[in-house]
Chains A and B, each alone.
Chain A
Amino acid sequence: MGQLLDGFATALTPTHLLFAAIGVLLGTAIGVLPGIGPAMAVALLLPVTYGMEPTGAFIMFAGIYYGGMFGGSTTSILLNTPGESAAVVTAFEGNPMARKGRGAQALAAAAIGHFTGGIIGTMLIVLLAPFVAKHAVDIGAPDLFAIMVLAFIAVTSVLGSSRVRGVASLLIGLTIGLVGLDEMTGQQRLTFGSLHLADGIDVIVVAVALFAVGEALWVAAHLRRKPFVPIPVGRPWLSKADLKRTWKPWLRGPAIGFPFGAIPAGGAEIPTFLSYVTEKRLSKHKDEFGKGAIEGVAGPESTASASAAGTLVTMLTLGLPTTATAAVMLAAFQTYGIQPGPLLFQREAGLVWALIASLFIGLTLLLVLNLPLAPLWAKLLRIPRPYLYAGILFFASVGAYAVNADIFDLLLMFVIGVLGFAMRRYGLPVLPAIIGVILGPAAEQQMRRSLQLSDGSLTGLVNSPMAVVVYVIVLLIVFFPLIRRLLPSPTPPAAPTPEREKVDA
Chain B
Amino acid sequence: MSVKVWVAVATALLAVLLVPPLLTPGADSGETSQVRSLRVLVPNQPGGGYDITARTAAKAMEDADLLRNAEVFNLPGAGGTVGLGRTVGERGNGKLIMSMGLGVVGAVYTNKSPNSLLDTTPIAKLIEEPDIVVVAKDSPYTSMQQLVDAWKANPGTVTVGGGSAPGGPDHLAPMLIAKAVGLPPKTVNYIPFDGGGELLASVLGGKVAFGVSGVGEYRDQIQAGTLRVLAVTSKNRIQGIDAPTLKESGVDVEFTNWRGIVAPPGIAQNDRDKLVDVFARLHKTSQWAEALQRNGWTDAFAPGDEFKTFLENENKRVATVLKDLGLA
Contacts and interface: CB of A to CB of B under 8 A. Distances in A.
Q: Do chains A and B touch in the complex (CB under 8 A)?
A: yes
B78 A324 contact: no
Given A50-B63, A452-B189, A186 B55 contact: no
B204 to A, nearest CB: 4
A337 interface: yes
Interface of A: 39, 43-44, 47, 50, 136-141, 180-181, 183-187, 193, 195, 198-200, 264-265, 318-321, 324, 326-328, 330-331, 334-335, 337, 339-344, 449, 452-453, 455-456
Given A195-B86, A319-B220, A340-B220, A327 B189 contact: no
A187 B82 CA distance: 11
Nearest to A142: B207
A470 B73 CA distance: 36
A453 B156 CA distance: 9
Contacts of A181: 77-78, 81-82, 111
Given A319-B221, A321-B46, A184 B77 contact: no
A199 B207 contact: no
26 contacts: A47-B69, A140-B202, A141-B207, A181-B82, A186-B81, A186-B111, A186-B165, A195-B82, A199-B77, A319-B221, A320-B47, A320-B200, A320-B201, A324-B46, A327-B45, A327-B46, A327-B51, A334-B52, A334-B55, A343-B224, A344-B220, A449-B191, A452-B191, A453-B207, A453-B208, A455-B159
Given A331-B51, A334-B52, A342-B226, A137 B79 contact: no
B85 interface: yes
Interface in B44-92: 45-47, 51-52, 55-56, 59, 62-63, 69, 71-79, 81-82, 85-86, 89
B109 to A, nearest CB: 11
B153 to A, nearest CB: 14
Contact of B198 (A136, A265, A330, A343): A265
User: Which of B45, B78, B208, B294 has the largest count of A CB atoms less than 10 A from its CB?
Assistant: B78
A339 B219 contact: yes
A373 to B, nearest CB: 28
Contacts of A199: 75-77, 82
B46 A331 contact: yes
Nearest to A343: B224
A155 B72 CA distance: 36
Given A47-B62, A50-B62, A137 B205 contact: yes
B302 interface: no
A343 B223 contact: yes
B107 interface: yes
A449 B193 CA distance: 9
A264 B201 contact: yes
A490 to B, nearest CB: 45
Contacts of B244: none
A195 B83 CA distance: 9
Contacts of A265: 198
Given A318-B201, A331-B52, A195 B89 contact: yes
B163 interface: no
A85 to B, nearest CB: 15
B145 interface: no
A342 B191 contact: no
Nearest to B154: A455
Contacts of A50: 62-63
A320 B47 CA distance: 8
Contacts of B202: 137, 140, 264
B166 interface: yes
